[in-house]
Amino acid sequence: MASVHNGQVSLGNYLLERLIQVGVKQTFGVPGDFNMPFLDLVEDHPNIGYVGCCNELNAGYAADGYARVTGKVGVVITTFGVGELSATNAIAGAHSERVQVVHIVGVPSTTLQAHQAVLHHTLGDAKFDAFLHIAQHITASTATLFHAETAAAEIDQCLATMLLKARPCYITIPTDLVNVKISAKPLETPLKPFVEHPSKEATEAFLVSRIAHAFETAKKPVVLIDACSIRFHVLDTVQKLVEKTGVAFFTSPMGKAALSEGHSNFGGVYIGEISLPSVREAFESADFILAIGTMKSDFNSGAFTWRMPGERTVELHSDHCVFQYGRFEGVTFQTILPLLVEAVAPLKESQKIAVNPFPKVLAAPSGPITQEGLWPLVGTFFKENDVIIGETGTSAFGVLETKMPKGAIFGTQILWGSIGWAGGSTLGAAVAAKESTPPRRTILFMGDGSWQLTIQELSTMARYKVKPIIFLLNNDGYTIERFIHGPNRKYNDIQPWKWTKLLDVFGAPEDAYATHQVKTFEELEKLLDDPGFGSADRIQLVEVFIGKMDAPRALKLQAEATARVNA
């Protein structure tokens, strides 16, 4: 470990070494009075990097996007009070969507804290714990380092809980502790991301045999894969289950692209009543459902219309399972799934469901671009291992019905749904995509209303020379909101921008970017067919003009449901 000398390491570097151990290569942040000593260590460390963002919310989003693409951990570094609170929404989103983000906050020295000095960046009341209390509501664990003696143990506990829960954690470092030397010994023991429960062995064996029996005796079993399967890294085992049994698998919106959508057993994205009719029909023909890592939120379940009756459904989760209404606490899919792969027999042909996962592709669409024609068309542009980000709005809903290529990583915020997220997240995703061998392409779909929230991170993309392909859907305002409420309200309008000039203004050199404007399918198709465009050798922004009141099928149905329940 680069920063360990004679068995000693500075407290700041201890934290960095732990982060490197869990797969972190890049961090995101904004400097401030109280985090600069820690940033010195990041800047000087040979094995970890730092991406300076334009603001902390965006840096938090970037850490989230980085974690989604690496499948590991994102890191955002902010300063006390002003910096950390700006990232609140990003951290809450990672908490909600179960993304592992470490929020590191540089805070005043232990002396200033002990003296309760009324410093700048405080609430003026000499209380130093208000921001901790805020963080506790949106993280799995917190560590407010104050004593060098216990700091390593606190860091380890905090990070391990993050890994165990797949939720963010929060660590504060006082300026005077950053360079204090502590023992590097604990670094020799890796952090444990998962707790085994040996006492549960009998329960597990019982449950596995019951599930296997139910699976084998079902007329038509299916598997539903959702977000937690991705977050808790059980997809390899799920893949084995699918291969061994030949069972049809579906994903939720949040589980989209968990396994290859080109697989012959892929049944489509199941969203209850909002599903494509052919997908819904196939899924609901099942009499037994193995649901893995489900998150039953409104937008993930078609406004709670998933048809999964308790007597015919098994739910496998990271901390419990449910079988025929019975809850098995502490029995996890990490232990159950490998046992199940062993126990279960291949399906008979009669048990298999015919699948039809995608909408009929329109024959050569032409004329002005429509949502209906757009999404199947961009699907033809995707390549293996692409990172594809869909912003909340028409993009997230539209791309749900686009076929994801093998190895693709799909990022969206179906549960948290914070507009603007994809702008920052794509920065982090693109930084992570560059780390892959070979590098992945990063492709973003985002509406004009949303991009306005976080647009400055386009500048950071240019600064750090990442090369996403950005489809900016210009539909003249908050179209998703127009469908939910107030289609003609002024509050759903935005200021029109000259989008294709932004990269120049944000300092991208002329040969480092390209911009395009497309209004018709012919123009779009020509662009997508251009190998230079597809090579993603520079940052590219495509302004796609599309109708103000045009939306993907799924969004229209979801918006109707949302408007109904709001009333």
Among 35, 93, 477, 550, the active-site one is 477
Q: Which of 475, 476, 492, 550 is catalytic?
A: 475
Min dist CB 272 to its own copies, Å, is: 14
Measured between its terminal Cα atoms, the distance across the chain in Å is 58
Closest to 92 in 3D by CA, of 52, 69, 61, 59: 61
The span of 200-208, 309-317, 401-409, 410-418 binding its own copies (CB under 8 A) equals 410-418
Rounded least distance, CB 53 to its own copies, Å: 9
Q: How far is CA 367 from the centre of its chain?
A: 35
User: Closest separation between CB of residue 373 and its own copies, Å?
Assistant: 27
- Specify whether 121 is catalytic: yes
Catalytic residue among 273, 298, 481, 522: 481
Nearest-approach distance from CB 187 to its own copies, in angstroms: 25
475 is in an annotated binding site: yes
Q: Which two tokens stand for residue 465?
A: 């020379």
Q: Which of residues 420-449 bind its own copies (CB under 8 A)?
A: 420
The span from the CA of 122 to the CA of 447, in Å, is: 36
Token readout for 458 is 């386009």
Q: How far is the CB of 271 from its own copies (least distance, A)?
A: 13
Binding segment toward its own copies, per CB under 8 A, in 156-164, 328-336, 383-391, 460-468: 460-468
Query: What residues numbered 290-309 form the site for its own copies, per CB under 8 A?
Result: 295-299, 304
88: number of Cβ within 10 Å: 18
Q: Is 272 annotated as a binding residue?
A: no
Among 4, 72, 322, 497, indicate the residue that binds its own copies (CB under 8 A). Answer: 497
Scanning 48-56, 229-237, 366-374, 546-554 for contacts with its own copies by CB under 8 A, the matching segment is 48-56
Q: Decide if 95 is catalytic.
A: no
Q: Which residues contact 386 (CB under 8 A, 6 or more apart)?
A: 405, 408, 409, 440, 441, 442, 443
Does 173 bind its own copies (CB under 8 A)? Our answer is no
The question of whether 486 is a catalytic residue gets the answer: no
Q: Is 32 in the site for its own copies (CB under 8 A)?
A: yes
494 binds its own copies (CB under 8 A): yes
CB atoms inside a 10 Å sphere around CB 255: 28
Q: Is 475 part of the annotated catalytic residue set?
A: yes
Q: Is 45 noted as a catalytic residue in this protein?
A: no
What does each C-alpha distance from 67 to 2, 6, 110, 395, 445 come to in angstroms? Answer: 23, 32, 31, 21, 19
Question: Which pair of tokens denotes residue 485?
Answer: 């409420």
Q: Per CB under 8 A, which of residues 175..234 are in contact with its own copies?
A: 175-176
Transcribe 351-380 into DSSP letters: GPPP---SPPPPSS--SB--HHHHHHHHHT
Placement of tokens 């700006």 in the chain: 86
Whole-angstrom Cα distance, residue 146 to residue 151?
7
Residue 497 or 545 with smaller CB distance to its own copies: 497
Residue 562 engages its own copies in binding (rule: CB under 8 A): yes
Chosen residue from 20, 119, 143, 466 binding its own copies by CB under 8 A: 119
Of 216-224, 309-317, 361-369, 415-423: span binding its own copies (CB under 8 A): 415-423
- Look at residue 456 and give its three-state secondary structure: coil
Among 185, 213, 501, 526, binds its own copies (CB under 8 A): 501
Q: Residue 448: CB partners within 8 Å, gap ≥ 6? A: 472, 473, 474, 475, 476, 477, 494, 497, 499
Site for its own copies contains 335 (CB under 8 A): no
By the 8 A CB rule, do 332 and 321 touch? Answer: yes
Binding residues: 448, 475, 477
Residues noted as catalytic: 33, 56, 120-121, 417, 448, 475, 477, 481
